[in-house]
Each structure stands twice: as C-alpha cells, then as structure tokens.
C-alpha cells in the first residue's frame, strides 16, 4: 500500500480547522457518558494463559513463534551491541517481527453546527486494563486487512484504503516502538468524508468529537490510546 503525501492539502485542512474552531464543542461529558455505556454493555474479557494453550501459534525449529497462516508477526530474538547512553551496551531480548506495517486513520467531517469533527472508535484491546478506550477511526494490520484471522475485513476499509467517499488529506509513515518491534512502521492518515452523514460511520462504537474535545480527553488517565495523539499531531 502507498498513500500520496500532499502538504498543500494538509495546510488547507489545518487552516480550515483553525477557522472553524469557534464552532467546536468543548464539553466532553457526552463523550465520557457514551464511553461508560459501552463499558457497561461490553462482554470483552482477556486473561494471561500459558503459551502451550494458545491456538494457531507454534514454535518453529529455531524456537521462533509464528502464526500457522504465516502472517501477523513472528516473535524472535534480537542481539544488540555498541549501545550508547543506555544502562548496558549489549543485551539480548525478544522482539516482534512483522512483515507488513499497519494503517491508522482518522475520518473527519465538516458540519455547519460544529465545524470539523473526527470519528473516534470505542475499542478494547487484550492488553488494556479492561475498559473501552477512545481510538482512531481505523486501526488495522495488513494481516487483518487480508483476513488472515478468517474473520471479516475491518470496518470502513473501502473508505480508508480506497478513498471511497472520502478525500485523503495527508499520509505519513511512522516507526513503531523500536524496543518492541523490528523495523515496523505504520501509515498515519487523515481523510475528509464527502458526505458528513455517511451511514457506515453511524454505528454504536463510533462517536464524533472536535479537536478541542480530544485534547481534553487526553488529560484523563487511560482514556485514549496513543495512536490518537500520533495521527492528530499532524494538525
């Protein structure tokens, strides 16, 4: 996958967000109430189990851990030497090696009443503290997009990946955390919907929020996931 970089579009979008800032909602009480309702309805649970109980993952002859499909990621070892400014100069550790990066995206819309808004997704991940987090509109690895898990394609894939009903504002690629991932990077996208009332965005797990509201949410402990900040930092 490749996405076009267009600094002119991004600058125009920044100016529009700023010019409509006076219309932005700033109160976050409705967002927090929405999140609490999702938490109450959620049946999501996760717990640590021994690796020999994990289905569809196996160790190969070198001791590396792989998915039976050959996709997702491999857990390997990495040996580091010559490090400066660290506690030690040399060490070994496990690291996640993922062949393909992911796509992280925010859909935006312009409304007469509230100016520019961004679509948040309420989501819980296995390693979270159990509560729903405010996440970007779209988070997917290439393996998820390819349906390596045997399930459905991530929601809004046509809009995000094919710009069906949306205009790409900007795309950039950022490295994942190098302490955990081997040379992995994700595309970070912002797209503007052609139709502010797009029906695909009208699902229970989505909610619209202004940039001002998202900034306020970031001040509350364990409420938004880190990718929200990474993408919106472009603005």
Quick: pLDDT tens for 38-55: 999 988 889 999 999 999
Return the DSSP state at 224.
B
Domain span at residue 140 reads 7-47+99-232
Same domain? 88 vs 204:
no
C-alpha–C-alpha distance, residues 148 and 129, integer Å: 26
Using the 3D structure, point to which of 79, 97, 115 is the last residue of a domain.
97
Same domain? 34 vs 62:
no
Same domain? 57 vs 34:
no
Same domain? 90 vs 121:
no
* pLDDT at position 220: 95
CATH number at 114 reads 3.90.79.40
Same domain? 196 vs 84:
no
Mean pLDDT, 10 residues at a time, over the chain (235 residues)? 82 96 97 95 90 92 91 92 90 90 95 97 87 95 81 92 95 86 91 96 97 96 92 90
C-alpha–C-alpha distance, residues 23 and 84, integer Å: 49
Same domain? 80 vs 110:
no
Per the structure, the count of domains in the chain is 2
Same domain? 121 vs 216:
yes
Same domain? 133 vs 216:
yes
Residue 2: inside a domain: no
Could you tell me the sign of the dihedral formed by the alpha carbons of 13, 15, 19, 22, in that order?
Answer: positive
Same domain? 88 vs 171:
no
C-alpha–C-alpha distance, residues 231 and 13, integer Å: 14
Could you tell me the sign of the dihedral formed by the alpha carbons of 80, 82, 83, 88, in that order?
Answer: positive
The residues with which 190 forms a beta bridge, in sequence order, are: 106, 170
Same domain? 170 vs 111:
yes
Same domain? 92 vs 150:
no
Q: Are 122 and 205 in contact (CB under 8 A)?
A: yes
* pLDDT at position 1: 67
Same domain? 85 vs 104:
no
* pLDDT at position 160: 96
Residue 78: inside a domain: yes
> Does the predicted model carry a pTM greater than 0.75?
yes
């Amino acid at each position: 996958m490749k996405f076009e970089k267009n600094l002119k579009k991004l600058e125009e979008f920044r100016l529009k967000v700023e010019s409509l800032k006076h219309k932005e909602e700033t109160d976050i009480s409705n967002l927090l109430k929405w999140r609490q309702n999702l938490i109450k309805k959620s049946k999501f649970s996760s717990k640590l189990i021994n690796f020999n109980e994990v289905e569809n993952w196996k160790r190969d002859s070198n001791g590396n851990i792989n998915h039976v499909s050959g996709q997702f990621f491999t857990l390997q070892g990495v040996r580091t030497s010559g490090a400066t400014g660290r506690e030690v100069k040399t060490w070994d550790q496990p690291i996640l090696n993922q062949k393909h990066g992911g796509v992280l995206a925010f859909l935006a819309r312009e409304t007469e009443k509230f100016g520019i808004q961004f679509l948040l997704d309420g989501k819980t991940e296995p390693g979270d503290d159990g509560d729903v987090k405010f996440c970007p509109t779209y988070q997917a690895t290439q393996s998820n997009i390819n349906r390596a898990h045997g399930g459905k394609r991530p929601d809004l894939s046509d809009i995000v990946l094919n710009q069906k009903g949306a205009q790409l504002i900007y795309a950039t690629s950022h490295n994942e955390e190098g302490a955990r991932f081997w040379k992995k990077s994700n595309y970070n996208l912002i797209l503007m919907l052609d139709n502010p009332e797009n029906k695909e965005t009208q699902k229970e797990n989505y909610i619209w929020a202004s940039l001002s509201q998202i900034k306020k949410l970031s001040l509350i402990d364990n409420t938004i996931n880190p990718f929200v900040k990474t993408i919106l930092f472009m603005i």
